[in-house]
Amino acid sequence: MRILLVGSGGVGDAFARIAARRDFFDLLVVSDYDLARAERTVAAVRERHPGEQRLVAARVDASSAQSVAALAREHGVTHVMNAVDPRFVMPVFEGAFAAGADYLDMAMSLSHPHADQPHAQTGVKLGDEQFDAAAQWDGAGRLALVGIGVEPGLSDVFARYASDHLFSRIDELGTRDGSNLTVEGYDFAPSFSIWTTIEECLNPPVVWEKGRGWYTTAPFSEPEVFDFPEGIGPVECVNVEHEEVLLMPRWLEAQRVTFKYGLGDEFIEVLKTLHKLGLDSTDPVRVGGVEVSPRDVVAACLPDPAQLGDRMRGKTCAGLWVTGTGTDGAPREVYLYHVVDNEWSMREYGAQCVVWQTAVNPVVALELLASGAWSGAGVLGPEAFDAVPFLDLLRDGYGSPWGLREQTPA
């Protein structure tokens, strides 16, 4: 397997650090628009793994399918791993296809709200552009594995596991994420890309219900307090637009699918203020003769999440709350989850916990594809694959256990 990693920001850097410990690939081309950043990732990996020669650095323009395809062809790449902001999904996706490579990403093509009823009806949904190309990928016998980060990604694997092994009927598949992370020295410092966070949190959230299909609500709607495991505790979670809701119903039977994230009051107020001021916009504005996107300015003014690991304390939890009827015919409620402690991820990999937790899942998926444990063609989500090999490899091969908490049905 020869991999082209597009993007060596926080998640891309963590991807390279994790992959370097495994032997399933022959080449990893670490690429970025900023060549120096890609070179720093390669150097950091070699510092931890002296003699590692499978990684090389390269420059790529993720906004250009031609640039991605040319770099993939130059290195005889078999798989393109997309680790850039979702605004670049389509050129990387199309560049991989043009180069004859398979493709993976951790976020899907962008949505566009309904023109007249954005908080009731869907417009262009997350991933629609990619699924429109499914027949093309399938006809070519090629795989585009979409949404294989942690969220989306691991929760989707959990959903397939719950459907196959834990439930005879599922009432709700509810992704619930939260943390108790703090960042020393900063009043406001997101632990993930602020560009992506703004996109997710200020777009109308999507919910899926059987018989109704996909529909939208207002941002930050339906707040609930969810008790997260391993000492994190109760966190208020709200509806957020996310790919799981667009993926799970395509392969799994459920009555309802939701995604809620524990943002916290302060984070929500900051996002609302950015929206009121128009600072969430991606449309360029002219300032002193220069055109600049307000959202890019916000991102530039905040600290790089990849550089916050030494200041972060606490744990992050990604998981799936499932309700319904168990295989024994009795009501059942479980929470399948994965917790990463920042102290552990920094000590073991030199990567903060949020980006590490996101990056480990595509590495696991690529190893399963390399071994033949997973295979397929077309545009597929994680739900399309057997969950057991993934969960076993994550726990036993990567030393990152997942948990299952039984809960009392409401």
**Rg from Cα positions in the chain:** 20
Residues 191 and 47 in one domain: no
Report the candidate in 78, 84, 82, 75 with the shortest Cα–Cα distance to residue 34.
84
Residues 212 and 334 in one domain: yes
Q: What is the CATH number of the domain that holds 72?
A: 3.40.50.720
Portion of the chain with pLDDT greater than 90, in percent = 82
Residues 208 and 328 in one domain: yes
Residue 24: per-residue pLDDT: 98
Report the candidate in 142, 54, 143 with the shortest Cα–Cα distance to residue 104.
143
Structural domain count of the chain: 2
Contacts of 394 (CB under 8 A, 6+ apart): 154, 338, 360, 361, 364, 400, 402
Tell whether 239 is covered by a domain: yes
Residue 315: per-residue pLDDT: 96
Residues 220 and 305 in one domain: yes
Residue 14: per-residue pLDDT: 97
Residue 153: per-residue pLDDT: 98
Report the candidate in 337, 408, 388 with the shortest Cα–Cα distance to residue 154.
337
Tell whether 115 is covered by a domain: no
Residues 159 and 90 in one domain: no
Counting every residue written for the chain, the total comes to 410
User: Which residue is associated with the tokens 């397939």?
Assistant: 160
Residues 98 and 25 in one domain: yes
* DSSP string of 292-316, one letter each residue: E-HHHHHHHHSPPGGG-GGGEESEE
Please classify residue 267 by burial: count the beta carbons closer than 10 Å to its beta carbon, then call 0-12 exposed, 13-18 middle and 19+ buried.
middle
d(CA 318, CA 235): 13
Mean pLDDT, rounded, for 267-271 = 84
Tell whether 217 is covered by a domain: yes
Residues 213 and 335 in one domain: yes
Residues 228 and 345 in one domain: yes
Q: What is the CATH number of the domain that holds 172?
A: 3.30.360.10
Residues 282 and 348 in one domain: yes
Q: Write down which residue in 48, 74, 105 finishes a domain.
A: 105
Tell whether 96 is covered by a domain: yes
Residues 195 and 77 in one domain: no
Tell whether 367 is covered by a domain: no
Q: Write down which residue in 105, 120, 138 finishes a domain.
A: 105
Which pTM value belongs to this model?
Answer: 0.93
| Bridge partners, 54 (sequence order) | none
Q: Write down which residue in 88, 105, 122 finishes a domain.
A: 105
> Where in the sequence is the domain holding 215, given as residue range(s)?
154-354+401-407
d(CA 204, CA 184): 32
Tell whether 338 is covered by a domain: yes
Flag whether pLDDT at 306 surpasses 90.
Answer: no
Tell whether 121 is covered by a domain: no
Instruction: Quickly state the pLDDT bin for 192 (edges 50, 70, 90).
Output: low
* 69/293: higher pLDDT: 69
Tell whether 246 is covered by a domain: yes
- Give the pairing of strands 79-82 and 2-6: parallel
Flag whether pLDDT at 264 surpasses 80.
Answer: no
d(CA 318, CA 357): 9
Mean pLDDT, rounded, for 89-95 = 98
Flag whether pLDDT at 270 surpasses 90.
Answer: no
Report the candidate in 20, 12, 206 with the shortest Cα–Cα distance to residue 127.
206
Residues 340 and 191 in one domain: yes
Report the candidate in 360, 367, 342 with the shortest Cα–Cα distance to residue 400.
360
Summarised one tens digit per residue, pLDDT across range 353-410 is: 999 999 999 999 999 999 999 999 999 999 999 999 999 999 999 999 999 999 988 7
Contacts of 359 (CB under 8 A, 6+ apart): 11, 12, 14, 15, 17, 18, 83, 149, 351
**Average pLDDT of the residues of the chain:** 94
Summarised one tens digit per residue, pLDDT across range 325-353 is: 999 999 999 999 999 999 999 999 999 99
Summarised one tens digit per residue, pLDDT across range 23-39 is: 999 999 999 999 999 99
Catalogue the E-assigned strands of 212-314: 213-216, 224-228, 233-239, 256-261, 285-287, 290-292, 312-313
Residues 61 and 172 in one domain: no
Are the C-beta atoms of residues 83 and 11 closer than 8 Å to each other? yes
